[in-house]
Structure 1
Amino acid sequence: MKIKNLFWLGLTLAALSASAQVVIDPDWKETEAPAPPTFNKDKLIPLDMPNYVTLKFGVDPATLIITPDSIVRYVVVTANTTGSISAMYEGIRCATWEVKTYARYSANGQWSTVRNPQWEGLSDNRPSKHAFVLARKGICDSGSTTANSVADIVKALKN
C-alpha cells in the first residue's frame, strides 16, 4: 500500500512541476539603457568558455550594473588569436532568459549603437555563447532570478 501511495504522490508532483510556469510581469518596462561605459581590457574577468570556442571573452567588472528593471548590463570584450579586440555592450534579463546587444565597439575605438536592438533568447546553441555563460555562471541566480548584487556576480564569475 505504501508503494501505491508513493506512486500517486510522484505522479502528482510530476504533473505539478510540468504545469509550473514562470510568471512574467505584464506591466514590466525596460529602462533606457545608459551610454556604453568605458572599459579596461587589463581588468577583465575571463569567461570559462567551451573548448570549441576559439575566441577569448572577458567582462570588465567595473561595467556591470543591475538596473531597477532587473536587467544586468555589462561590457564583454572579445580577443582573437591575432590580439585584436572588440566589445559589446549588452543586457541580460533573467526573468525571460534573454539578452540584448545595445552597442558594439570596434578596433578603431568607437562605439556604434545597434539600431532597434531586440531581445533574443539565451540558449547554449546561439551563435555567441558568452551571454549564456555569463547568465549561468553569475548573472542569473537559480535560473530566472537576477543576482542580488554586482559583488555577487563578480564573486561567482571569479570562482
Structure 2
Amino acid sequence: MADLPAILFPPQGTVYDFDDEFDKKPWQEVETQLPPAPREETLIPFYVSPTAQGVFSVDGATISVGSDGVVRYVLVVVAQGGARNVSYEGLRCDTRERRLYAFGRPDGSWSKARSNQWGLVENKMVNRHHAALSREYFCPGGVAIRTAQEGVAALKAGGHPDVPR
C-alpha cells in the first residue's frame, strides 16, 4: 500500500463539504412588488454599444437587490423617433437570466407581463441593453451587486469598477 498515491488516502482530519451540497435548498424567487412609475430626475442613462440607437436609462430610485439575489430595476428606453418604453425587470446574475415583470403605461400604472419566465441574457449586437446591464453594471463577473447604491454608482461611472475596460 505504500506505493498508492497520497490522494487516495487524504491526511487524517481532512473535512470535505459534500454534505453541504445536499443541504442547499433550491432557489426560490421572493414576492415582487411593482415600484412607482419612473421619474425623470432619477433616470440614469447608460452606455450600451456604439451601434445602439436611442437612449437607455435606469431609474436609480427603483434599483433593488432582493434576498433571492435578483437585481430589479425600471428600464426606460427612448427610441430615436421619441417612442418611450418602460419596463420593470430583474436579473439573476449567477445564471445570466432576465425576467420582465411589467410594462409601464403612459398614465404611470403598470401592466403585468404575460410571460413570467426567466430567459437567457443574450449578448448580441441588436438589443444588447440587457447584456450591458448584466455584464457591465449589475453583475460583474456573474456576481450580483450588493446594494442599490452600488448599482447607481456603476451606472453613473459608466460601468462597474470590477469590470475590466
Q: Please tell me the TM-score bracket, short chain as reference.
A: 0.7 to 0.9
In the alignment, structure 1 segments of 5+ residues that lack a partner are: 1-22
Partner Cα distance (1:112, 1:78) in 2: 17
Structure 2 match to 1:153: 151
Structure 2 match to 1:94: 93
What root-mean-square deviation, in Å, do the aligned CA atoms of Structure 1 and Structure 2 show? Answer: 2.0
Partner Cα distance (2:48, 2:130) in 1: 10
Structure 1 match to 2:39: 40
Q: Structure 1 residue 26: deviation in Å?
A: 5.5
Partner Cα distance (1:53, 1:126) in 2: 8
Partner Cα distance (1:27, 1:67) in 2: 16
Structure 1 match to 2:79: 80
| Contact 1:138/1:156 (8 A) holds in 2 | yes
| Contact 1:123/1:132 (8 A) holds in 2 | yes
Q: Structure 1 residue 118: deviation in Å?
A: 1.0
Structure 1 match to 2:163: none
Q: Secondary structure at the match of 1:138?
A: helix
Q: TM-score, normalised by structure 2?
A: 0.73
Structure 2 match to 1:122: 121
Higher percent of residues as helix: 1
Q: Secondary structure at the match of 1:154?
A: helix
* Amino acid of the structure 2 residue aligned with 1:120: G
Structure 1 stretches of 4+ with a deviation exceeding 6 A read none
Partner Cα distance (1:126, 1:36) in 2: 30
**Sequence identity of aligned pairs in percent?**
33
